[in-house]
Amino acid sequence: LGPPLIFLRETLFQEATGVTYRIPALLYVPPAATFLAFAEKRSSTRDEDAKYLVLRRGHRDGSSVEWGAVEELSALVLPGRRTMNPCPLYDAASGTVFLFCICVELGKTERRQIWRGRSAARLCYATSADAGRSWTPLRDVTDETIGADLSRWATFAVGPGHGIQLDSGRLVVPAYTYYIHGCLRGVVRLPCLTRQHALVFYSDDDGRSWLKGAMVDGDQTGECQVAEIVGSAVGQPLLYCNARAARGCRAVAFSADRGLRFGKSRRCKELGEPPRGCQGSVVSFGAPVGEASTWLLYSHPTNRRRRRDLGIYLNTSPLDSGGWHHPWVLQPGPAGYSDL
Per-residue confidence (pLDDT) for residue 233, from 0 to 100: 67
Question: Is-contact 127 98, C-beta < 8 A?
Answer: yes
Q: pLDDT-based confidence at 33, cuts 50/70/90?
A: very high
According to the model, what pLDDT value does residue 247 have? 87
This prediction has a pTM of 0.94
Residue 6, CA distances (Å) to 3, 126, 283, 290 in order:
9, 33, 18, 25
- Beta strands 71-73 and 281-286 are unpaired
Give strand ranges (E) for 160-246: 164-165, 171-183, 192-203, 211-212, 224-229, 238-243
Distance CA 108, CA 117 (A): 12
- Confidence at 198, pLDDT banded by 50, 70, 90: very high
Among 122, 144, 125, 160, CA closest to 210: 144
pLDDT digits (tens, 9 = 90+) for 36-70: 999 999 999 999 999 999 999 999 998 889 999 99
| Amino acid letter for position 190 | L
